[in-house]
Every structure is written in C-alpha cells, then in structure tokens.
Structure 1
Amino acid sequence: MEILIFKKVPQKILIIKPSSLGDIVHSLPFLNAIRDRFPKSEIHWVVARGLEGLLEGHPMISKLWIINKDNWKKIKNMKGTVSELKDLFKSLKKEKFDIVVDLQGLLRSGVLAAATGAPVRIGFNEAREGSRIFYTHRVKGGKDIHAVDRYLKIAKFFGCDASDVKFPFPLSFSSQLSAISPQAGSFQLPKEYAVFVPGARWRTKRWPSERFGELASILPVKTLVVGGKSDIDISNRVAAGSKGNAMSVAGMTSIKELVDLMRKAKFVVSNDSGPMHIAAALGVPVFAIFGPTNPLRTGPYGKGHTIIRKELKCSPCYKKTCKDVRCMDIIDVSEVAGIIMQSCKEASKL
C-alpha cells in the first residue's frame, strides 16, 4: 500500500466525521493511530451538534468544531445556514490545517474539507455525492469490510501502525440514575444488569419491542432499556412487557452517562445501532440482532460478540422500508434467549 511521505511533521490535523453515533465510535481507533503517529500535532474534529458528548474533554483532541448539520437541510433556515457556513469556512481557513481527513465521504463534508484550504485533503476513493473531487489524495476503502478497518486504511496511508486496535473513550462518568433525571427518582443501579437497545434509526432494523420485553421477562438478570428521546415509547413498551424485570431510562441519559452504563453491563442485546457499537468498543459482550444490514460492515467489532441473524436471499438489502421485515420478524424470543443463556453459561456469567 502507498504511504504518504511527510517532509515535516504536520502541526494541525482536522478530522471530519460529524455523525452518526456508531460511525464516530468506529472512528476512535483511527484517532488513536493518528495520535500515536503524530504525538505533538493538534488534532481537531468536526462533529454534529448532539453527538459532541462522545468526544468532549477527549485528551487526544485539541478542539471540537460543532456544526448544526440538521438545520442546514431545512429550507426555512437557508439564510441563517449561508451565514453560518461563511463564518465556519472563514474560521476553518484561519486555522491553516496541514492535513484534513474526510471520513464522512459526502458532498457536505467534501466541501468543508476544500474550504479549509489545507494542502493535503484525504478521503475515500468510493466517497459518495461527488465528494472525492475535493480531495488531493484518495484511499481505496473497499465495500465488504468493517467500518473500523476501512477508516484504518487511511491511518495506514499516513504510515500509522494500525495493528493494535484501540477505542480511546474519554474518562468514565457517573452513572447514578438518580442524578440523570428526576424521572428516575431514587432508583439505584442493580448490582448486575443487562442493557437492551430496542431502537434504531431505521424501522427495518428494529426487532419488535414486545419481543424485547418478553426476552427481559425470561432472563435471570435485571435489564436497563436505553435509547434517545425518540426511543422513549419503544423502550416503555419493552419495560411494560418485562413483568417487572426491566426499567426504561430512554431519554434520561447523556452520551457520557450511556457510555458508563454500557461499561458496567454484563451484556448488551441490541439492534444495529449506535449504542451497540459503544458496547462493543468497551469490550462488553454484545448479542446483536441483524436483518437488513450486513454485520461484516457494521456488526459489533472485535471478539466475544454474537450475531443473531437469519440467512435470507433478500438480506442484507439496506432498505429503510419493507412491507413485512421478514428478516427480523422470524427471529423468535426463545431462540435469542437460548443463545444468550448458553453463551453466558459457557462464560460462567449467569
């Protein structure tokens, strides 16, 4: 593989990876590799508002650039967006970055990379929406490869040693639920608990909430159901069907608190989602339920995880809508419970 030769150590490096939660987690080994390669360089990161909690206070990052990318999509905000982008472009250019790495690979991120005026702008050869025209160097990422390994290909292009994959999270944060939200009251964390993640951005990636609830009622361990504000209804249905064995904290935790809850869990049962990737990165055993997406590309990274999936001709399809979502619907509770119980028995965890 070709390696970029540096005449001098870059003083400033900008990583463009605004979203999503899981993708940012997948980018952490890249950050670790770059920091090891250039220990004295400033590393800046462009992140979407609402996800900055995963990177705030990170000892490897000198500065976060928080962007309101969701507002940019709204026609009614066009005037404000144009003004905001002008200011952002001006500020980025003032930084005089030596290197910009676009891990997002979309038109918007490509334009941001070009706006910096950096002499070296790197992205993937397969980048979408024409964003590759804004790069000075392109790296072949590949398709049937995990996102973590794909990002590390750019690290290798820098001459980084990417053999030791690490997910550097910021420091641990308190996970006392009574401090998270008044709704949690005086609730204290169980000594041992599992975490369920019934939500997902796509409807097709969601295993039915009723089955998560039934699963919680079967397993001999207390369960915390997590998610964002948009997952509150789903999570409440899981808790309602658990026969008192699960509690929903969806919408009550910050990203930092979610990381700490995951860190202390015995195991996690999840759809293909951002929190699933947090758990895997922390080394917590994950039982991942997959349907329309490919676990080779977006499954839990590393060892000790279990993929629960049906081999159907139509899967993976990457469709966000489906009339019956058969790939998820034919996965039954007893099958999932059996896999978890057997795995935990072998690991002497239950």
Structure 2
Amino acid sequence: MSADYPSSDAPRAIAMLRLSAIGDVCHTVPVLRALQDRWPDTPITWVIGKLEASLVGDIEGVEFISFDKKAGWSGYRALGQTLAGRDYDALLHMQVALRASLASRRIPARRRIGFDRARARDWQWLFTNEAIPARPQQHVMEGLLAFAAQLGADISRPRWDIPVPEADEAFAREHIPDQGPALILSPCSSQRSRNFRDWRPERYAAVIDHAARHHGLGTIITGGPTDRERDMAEAIMGHCHHQPANLVGQTGLKQLFALIRRARAVVCPDSGPAHMGTAAGTPVIGLYASSNPDRTGPYFSRQWCVNHYPEALKAETGKGVDDVRWGTRVRDPQVMERITVAEVTEKLDALMAQ
C-alpha cells in the first residue's frame, strides 16, 4: 500500500522511530528531510537514542524524544507518559530490533509502517499494520527512504543539512585550518560479538605516511573513549614516521562531524564515521571485507571502497553474494588481512587526483 497525500490534505502529525546506530541515524536524516520538504507545516516527532540525538537533535522543526535503551522498563514507561494522548497519522517504524518494537507500542498511530516481511526481523511485523514494498538487495539508506516514499514524499534527491554550532565549527577550524588539508582516520568500528572489522595498526600507519609524503595531508585519528580505541591509536602512532594528531576520546559527535566536513577524506572500516562522511559531503575510503559495501557502504563513496567481501564470503561459505541472505557477514577473524596498504593508497591517490 502506498498513499500520496495532496498538499491540501497533509498528515496532521508523523512519528519516526529510529534509535540507533550512528550510521543508520545518518541514513534516516534524508527521510526526515523528504517529509519536511513535502509537508513543511506537519509536526514530526523522532524517537531516537540519547547518543544519536547529540548529532541530529538540533534539527529545526522536529520534536526529538530521547529514548534511553539502558533504562529497562522505566524507559518504555517514560516514553508512554510523554506520548500519552497523542494521535499520529503515521508511525515510521524503521528499526527491527525487538526493543524498538516494544518502544513502538508506546507511540499511538493509525498507520504503523514497518519493513516488508523479508526484512521485518525480530517479529517486527507483529507491531505494524502496513509495510514498505519488498526490494531485494537494497542499500540500507534506500530501504529507509522507502518509508518516506510510502507516504508520498519525493526521495530522488537525498539531503542532510545537519546543523553545526559555531563552537563546534571553531573546534574543527582549530584542528584543520584552511591552509592545512587533512585526512580523518577512524580506525575502529563498534565492538560487537564476532564483528571483525579492525585492520592492522601498522597498515594504517603506512597510509598516514603515504598521505603525508605524496599529498601533504596531515592525519587526525578519531574515535571513542574506550581503552580499545585508545590502544589502537597509540599503536598506529608507534608505527608512523609522520605523526598524526590523536583526538581519540576527545570529540563529541558534533565536533567529529565538523572535523569530517572540513577534511579532504575519511578512511575507516564499516562504521558510523563512514556515513557521517556521506552526510557531510566528504569522500570516504571504506575498508570492507566482513560486510558488503553495496548494502552498508558510504552511499556516495562506494567507488572509493576497497571491497574484499565477495571473495571472503566465497572462502567462508562457498557461495556468492547472490546466493546468501542479503546482509550476511563474514565471521573470519582474519578477514581484514585481505586488504593491502597498496589498495588503500591507490584509492587515496585516485581520489586526490580528482
């Protein structure tokens, strides 16, 4: 089912549910912008994770309700109290995790739109009464944009326009002055069970040295405040001849976004900064072996990705990309060994040549 509201009959109110993660929230911003462009006077509420709200929660004209995923049942109760008495024409339920579906029950809406049955994992289909069309082998962002299309919004020109406060822009200018082109290196992905996306620190160091020698690029290493990320940064710096700046654990999401906006390029594995780069309009050299960049790669930079996923998948399962469930990950702890320094520096050389 698809509905196209005429401009004279705009939805009275729309709710969006996408809690996490950073990359997926970046993919969701064009959904919001498409709805705003179609119906600029329609109130929109976005139920979002607390951390993720720190990146996008100052977008004007939107009510952001932070949902604490760690609060247990008290979080669901608080959400229900906040939304009591509301009446939304449509809820866009854009996350298949069970905790998101439980949160969706606190959002009163007549049309409860979720994923098609093939993608509605964790029983999401039990919490909705309408589904977006089934589209096999879509990029994650295309699947999310289908929610806006389901309401009749134009999704042909995705836009982000994420605000950056002046204080965060000043922070970025301090570290990347106008006369100092920079490379952002975000070496670590989120730490999850059997999530093998880390590359060797000495290989990252070789890329940093190449960027300095051949392109005059200074490198800034970024990441969160975990011991794992701090240790990775220190290991990388220990192998470098051209020392990078180390901002691991020293940036909020807005500051990181501001840095990415001013950078010449981002180098990272499949992680949130790859999609922040897309939102910022900065090219991303993505390192992909355990996951498929055609599904989760930086949307406008897939030509810059080093992609070893097809052969890694073949080696582990004996099957091709078209023969497994879309989104299947390679669980080989050594999978990132397939990516060579030369492949990454060749991508950087080609990007800089443009």
Query: Please, what TM-score do these two structures have when normalized by structure 2?
Result: 0.85
1:208 matched to 2:208? The reply is no
Q: Which amino acid aligns with 2:203?
A: R
1:227 matched to 2:218? The reply is no
Q: What is the CA distance between 1:105 and its match in structure 2?
A: 2.1
Give 5+ residue unaligned stretches, structure 1.
73-80, 181-186
Whether the 8 Å contact between 2:27 and 2:140 is mirrored in structure 1 is yes
1:164 matched to 2:157? The reply is yes
Following superposition of structure 1 onto structure 2, how do residues 165-180 of structure 1 map, counting pairs within 5 Å? 165-175=158-168
Equivalent residues, number: 327
Q: What is the CA distance between 1:23 and its match in structure 2?
A: 0.1
**Secondary structure of the equivalent of 2:65?**
strand
Cross-structure match for 1:132: 125
Cross-structure match for 1:3: 3
Q: Which amino acid aligns with 2:274?
A: M
Whether the 8 Å contact between 1:225 and 1:238 is mirrored in structure 2 is no
Q: What is the CA distance between 1:331 and its match in structure 2?
A: 1.4
Q: What is the CA distance between 1:196 and its match in structure 2?
A: 0.7
Q: C-alpha distance in 1, partners of 2:184/2:263?
A: 6
Q: What is the CA distance between 1:281 and its match in structure 2?
A: 2.0
Q: C-alpha distance in 2, partners of 1:304/1:86?
A: 41
- CA-to-aligned-CA distance 1:227-274 (integer Å, 9 cap, x gap): 111222212222232223312101100100111000000111111110
Whether the 8 Å contact between 1:277 and 1:301 is mirrored in structure 2 is yes
Cross-structure match for 2:260: 262
More displaced, 264-273 or 200-209?
A: 200-209
Q: What is the CA distance between 1:172 and its match in structure 2?
A: 4.8
Cross-structure match for 1:64: 64
Q: C-alpha distance in 2, partners of 1:38/1:14?
A: 14
Cross-structure match for 2:41: 40
1:193 matched to 2:190? The reply is no
Q: What is the CA distance between 1:314 and its match in structure 2?
A: 3.9
Distance 1:141 1:196, change over 3 A: farther
- CA-to-aligned-CA distance 1:54-106 (integer Å, 9 cap, x gap): 11211142x2111111x24xxxxxxxx33332232132233322221111122
Q: What is the CA distance between 1:319 and its match in structure 2?
A: 4.2
Q: Which amino acid aligns with 2:240?
A: S
Q: C-alpha distance in 2, partners of 1:320/1:232?
A: 26
Q: C-alpha distance in 1, partners of 2:146/2:175?
A: 43
**Secondary structure of the equivalent of 1:50?**
helix
Whether the 8 Å contact between 1:197 and 1:270 is mirrored in structure 2 is yes
1:99 matched to 2:90? The reply is yes
**Secondary structure of the equivalent of 1:218?**
helix
Identity %: 25
Following superposition of structure 1 onto structure 2, how do residues 231-250 of structure 1 map, counting pairs within 5 Å? 231-250=229-248
Distance 1:257 1:10, change over 3 A: same
**Secondary structure of the equivalent of 2:59?**
coil
Cross-structure match for 1:21: 22
Q: Which amino acid aligns with 1:162?
A: I
Q: Which amino acid aligns with 1:189?
A: I
Whether the 8 Å contact between 1:210 and 1:241 is mirrored in structure 2 is yes
Q: C-alpha distance in 1, partners of 2:304/2:74?
A: 47
- CA-to-aligned-CA distance 1:21-52 (integer Å, 9 cap, x gap): 00000111111111112211111111112221
1:282 matched to 2:318? The reply is no
Whether the 8 Å contact between 1:19 and 1:47 is mirrored in structure 2 is yes
Distance 1:329 1:54, change over 3 A: same
1:110 matched to 2:118? The reply is no
Structure 1 residue ranges, 4+ long, deviating more than 6 angstroms after superposition: none
Whether the 8 Å contact between 2:264 and 2:283 is mirrored in structure 1 is yes
Q: What is the CA distance between 1:141 and its match in structure 2?
A: 4.4
